[in-house]
Amino acid sequence: MAELLSLKEAVARLVHDGDTVALEGFTHLIPVAAGHEIIRQRRTGLTLVRMTPDIVYDQLIGAGCASKLIFSWGGNPGVGSLHRFRDAVQYEWPVPLEIEEHSHAGMANRYVAGASGLPFAVLRGYTGTDLPSRTDTIKPITCPFTGEQLAAVPALNPDVTIVHAQRADRAGNVQIWGITGVQKEAVLAAKRSLVTVEEVVDELEPRPGAIVLPSWAVTAVAEVPGGASPSYAAGYYERDNDAYQAWDAIGRDRESFTRWLDELTGVKA
Amino acid sequence: MAELLSLKEAVARLVHDGDTVALEGFTHLIPVAAGHEIIRQRRTGLTLVRMTPDIVYDQLIGAGCASKLIFSWGGNPGVGSLHRFRDAVQYEWPVPLEIEEHSHAGMANRYVAGASGLPFAVLRGYTGTDLPSRTDTIKPITCPFTGEQLAAVPALNPDVTIVHAQRADRAGNVQIWGITGVQKEAVLAAKRSLVTVEEVVDELEPRPGAIVLPSWAVTAVAEVPGGASPSYAAGYYERDNDAYQAWDAIGRDRESFTRWLDELTGVKA
Amino acid sequence: MTEYTSDEMMSVAAARALGDGTSCFVGIGLPSTAANLARRGHAPNLTLIYESGCLGAKPTRLPLSIGDGELADTADAVVSVPEVFNYWLQPGRIDVGFLGAAQLDKFGNINTTVIGPDYANPKVRLPGAGGAPEIAASCREVFVVLRQNPRAFVEKVDFVTSFGHGSGKGDRERLGLPGAGPTLVVTDLGLMRPDPETSELTLTELHPGVEVDQVVEATGWKLKVAGDLGTTPAPTEAELRILRDLKRASA
Amino acid sequence: MTEYTSDEMMSVAAARALGDGTSCFVGIGLPSTAANLARRGHAPNLTLIYESGCLGAKPTRLPLSIGDGELADTADAVVSVPEVFNYWLQPGRIDVGFLGAAQLDKFGNINTTVIGPDYANPKVRLPGAGGAPEIAASCREVFVVLRQNPRAFVEKVDFVTSFGHGSGKGDRERLGLPGAGPTLVVTDLGLMRPDPETSELTLTELHPGVEVDQVVEATGWKLKVAGDLGTTPAPTEAELRILRDLKRASA
């Protein structure tokens, strides 16, 4: 059964240096507050996993929390590039960043395999592309019935997955609606999981399009209103597009980023 | 886009002698009326597919429509055995019935592979059981990353899948709620599909737990109120348990079954 | 003291085996009766999972079948059938798999496929595997509940539909099966558990009023009896009341 | 006649390529603009599919990102990300994949990964593949839309993120790719299509007022020009009104 914890305590207990950590969300319900808490607690050597690393991953990378990124599309969605990500890949600042690069279909299936307790997944993917020559975790596999060749990718099983949801009840059952992305698979694939929620309520009223993660499939729930801002949280708030635009300027150079980081972590200039 | 047809016309156009046909439903929303229409139209040589063949499959088998059954659990749920199925397997009456037998997990994954455009699916299944020695469509497969051995099963791609749903709108979008079983996968795996519905409405009001099959993924929709009776149709009717009990006696001997069949097909004694 | 039937004793004994706060993958029939009895008695936080996709069902009556709307209406979540097998059962998330059987052998292997030596020409064609092979493989442990008689309790099953302990200790490990397999068999006469050395099913408890000889006679192999043979406590008034209320509500 | 920009011409030309009643897998940015313009104009029954899981989205404004709630609220169905790739894209159910690109080569191969010859030490690190490799593989055909300049239109992409026609005619068939691959490239200068004999991208239409030399200069390979070179009709008043309304509603 999921424990109700503060965000600070949840991150302290669930996220350790060197862990493989997935903060998932497909531009909706991004667990931004949890990412900031990881930065504040100064975790290092993390292998970060996400289909669509965006601003909060740029921040984690810029802060030096990550030594590896497993991903399929890294950008500031609707705005442009991630400059901290680029700086890490091109100039190893502040630390070198190893990358393991897939397609969305491959990443989604890696989570599915992880959630299913299988060591790998099969897909029609990567054919003809240069990705298999750069990524060890794509291998051919042959159908034992038709002889056809397909692609295999290994399961993703993060040490901890963090997602943001709209609601949980006091027993720790979690309700998510709108675009639910790959969040269920990412939670079920992980050894431990943390769900930050907009609010903890007495009862989860059923609603169209909602999925429920039962309490016994989740390690911890933390109530963090606004925890997905500046991303969307359907039913609670829209995307703060100005913040996405503003990040482009902040992330673009090391000095302005360092000022942002000092402010987040409470370091006085 | 799905065409709105009468049940009679839909079966006439979509189901042909010798086809592989899946009428799916997991004791909820069984497309019984469609099965009866197939009997009335005297189809023969069908390969019937279903995870849980029950009364309507017993009837199709007893009527001589089927030459093969691909399944994982055949019974009168909550009541007992299927006597027409037993008679066909043990005594080849009225015609021999070949069987291809899987587990639920295997069948569900075969539909998933079919819906996914993959030639096979991988699962942890069948280990240590006698099923692989009797079923050709279970083969070992080795994980290219860990070397672990798992089971592979080939995709199911019926010529036609028939399911029953609560509602469709006039454009042919289909809404199903409650226990949705493997219906989405069975429809998406098939070359053609027919959905019988309790009612055609102007607009599909979103409701908790409902899934929608878009019109462009369905071949035909037929309005057949009560089309799942005597099984459950959540929101419309409960299971008619007396009918399930009564079937045990009717199905038990060839004579009483033949009387039932004559009545269904309108043959005078 | 209230009278009770041997079937009621069986259901009560099976229910008691389910610990509070655990999760249980439940088949319809005897397993469902026992699991619901447990949830309404000593194990209010028992999570019931039905293969139709209902996670955390809390039915107020016994479901007629796994498609009963009551299961969906009271569940924490309803998922598709592929999802319940792939995301919930297969990774070993579920504590107990609760199964019935047509035949059970002395190593806990289960047959629900055919009676008779010839698969192609069976003496009796049974319903088949359903979810059982993977439930028996993937749950942390498996409980089996069925009425005891020599036709059901056989030396070796005619067909291994669901793997128990194979031909004895170590077979599950050799095959890489993650769960512990059948750890308990509950019948109308008593309880059997695999011997820790050999995995052979051994009589460990008698229900009140049952003699060892009765159980030996109702078993198709030379049944071993535990040295410290115990006796199941008789059903309590409370257990019987809950069981009968459930049955009444479901009639 | 209303003035218009070359970007507007590009969006209008891209929109026109989408037939009514077809289905289109849409990327954010230029493809989304064109697809929404088509749906509000000549193709009201165009089905828009976004990789976030929104099937049949009917946004009233241009989504800011694929996670925009507007897409979910107006969709016929919202499914999970694994489902949109596995059940909807992979089996080849979708007519058109509509992609952008950072680099495109003369055989329609797409690069959105790295600029420069060294993957490990790129000149520019781009966002990566996203959904594009499988969109390019599985849709019945692919349209690419991007602004034309010699840095973007190269002889050979630095990295094949998404496979077009490989090194020419027959490569897709040899690899067993089901879809037809890129059949149309829409730029701010004109339209290009693969030559039926060689699959090399060839200029087939100029936008009004654009000269062949301009396009040749904006292309990093020796561009071939179709013998029957056509001219795109200028945007109509109605097309421009819809496009500008969309842009305004999305500002």
| Residue-wise pLDDT tens digits, C96-110 | 999 999 999 999 999
A132: helix, strand or coil: helix
Mean local confidence (pLDDT), A198-221: 97
Q: Which amino acid is at C165?
A: H
Residue of B nearest to A142 (CA): B141
State the average pLDDT over residues C114-143. Answer: 96
Q: Is residue B269 over pLDDT 60?
A: no
Average pLDDT over residues A108-137: 98
pLDDT tens, B89-125?
999 999 999 999 999 999 999 999 999 999 999 999 9
pLDDT band at D249 (very low <50, low <70, confident <90, very high): confident
Mean pLDDT for the stretch of residues C123-128: 94
Q: How many secondary structure helices (H) and strands (E) does chain A include?
A: 9, 13
Q: CA separation (Å) from A212 to A109, A147, C55?
A: 21, 39, 10
Summarised one tens digit per residue, pLDDT across range C75-102 is 999 999 999 999 999 999 999 999 999 9
Each residue's pLDDT tens digit, A2-22: 999 999 999 999 999 999 999
Q: What is the pLDDT of residue A267?
A: 82
pLDDT, residue D65, reads 85
Residue B268 — pLDDT band, cuts 50, 70, 90? Answer: low
**DSSP bridge pairs for C111:** C103
Tell me: the pLDDT tens digits for A57-95? Answer: 999 999 999 999 999 999 998 889 999 999 999 999 999
Phi first, then psi, for residue B244 (nearest 5°) are -65, -45
Do the Cβ atoms of C90 and A116 come within 8 Å?
yes
Q: What are the tokens at C180? A: 């512990």
Closest C-alpha to A60, from A27, A91, A94, A92? A94
Q: Which of residues 39-98 of A touch C (CB under 8 A)?
A: none
Closest CA to D188 of D250, D144, D236: D144
CB-based contacts of D27, cutoff 8 Å, min separation 6: D51, D98, D99, D100, D130, D131, D132, D135
Q: How far apart are CA D122 and CA D130, in angstroms?
A: 18
Cβ-defined contact of D81 to A123 (cutoff 8 Å): no
Residue A269 has pLDDT above 70, yes or no: no
> Which among B184, B188, B214 has CB closest to D76?
B214
- What's the pLDDT at A177? 97
Q: Do B87 and B62 form a contact (C-beta atoms < 8 A)?
A: yes
Across the interface, which of D68, D129, D161 has its CB nearest the CB of A232?
A: D68
Q: Name the residue among B226, B219, B222, B217 with its Cα closest to residue B184.
A: B217
Chain A's closest residue to D126, CA to CA, is A81
pLDDT in tens, D101-147: 999 999 999 999 999 999 999 999 999 999 999 999 999 999 999 99
Annotated catalytic residue C141: no
Name residue, tokens 């039915």.
C59
Omega before A230 cis (within 30°)? yes
* Structural contact between residues C5 and C228, judged by C-beta atoms closer than 8 angstroms: no
C249 falls in which pLDDT band (50, 70, 90)? confident
Would you state the pLDDT for residue A268? 65
Query: Which other chains touch chain C, taking contact as 3+ CB pairs less than 8 Å apart?
Result: A, B
Contact D128, A73 (CB under 8 A): yes
Say if CB B169 and CB B124 are below 8 A apart: no
Considering only CB atoms, B117 lies closest to which of D47, D76, D92, namely D92
Q: How far is D135 from chain A (nearest CA, A)?
A: 9
Residue D74 sits at the chain B interface (C-beta within 8 Å)? no
| Cβ separation C86–A173 shorter than 8 A | no
Whether A85 contacts A76, CB under 8 Å: no
Write down the pLDDT at residue B102.
98
- Report the 10 Å Cβ neighbour count for B199: 11
Q: Look at chain C and count its residues.
A: 251
Alpha carbons C221 and C205: distance in angstroms, whole number: 18
Question: Quick check: A36 pLDDT over 60?
Answer: yes
Looking at residues B221-249, what average pLDDT do you find?
96
Query: Is the model's pLDDT at B83 over the cut of 70?
Result: yes
Per CB-CB distance under 8 Å, the chain A contacts of B119 are 143, 145-146, 148, 150
The answer to whether the CB atoms of A182 and D82 lie below 8 A apart is yes
Q: What is the pLDDT of residues B147-183, one digit of tens each?
A: 999 999 999 999 999 999 999 999 999 999 999 999 9
Chain A residues whose beta carbon lies within 8 Å of the beta carbon of residue C86: 112, 115-116
Rounded CA gap, B58 and B39, in Å?
11
How much is the average pLDDT of A138-152?
A: 98
| Least CB–CB distance from D87: residue in B1, B115, B215 | B115
pLDDT at B27: 86
Q: E-assigned strands of A124-210?
A: 139-142, 149-154, 160-169, 174-176, 192-201
B233: DSSP letter:
B
Return the percentage of chain A with pLDDT > 90, whole number: 96
Q: Which residues of B touch A123 (CB under 8 A)?
A: 118
Residue A74, CA distances (Å) to A65, A77, D113 in order: 17, 9, 10
Angle in degrees, CA B242, B245, B251, rounded to 5:
130
Residues in chain D: 251
Whether D49 contacts chain B with CB within 8 A: no
D67 pLDDT band, cuts 50/70/90, is confident
> Cβ of D133 and A105 within 8 Å?
yes
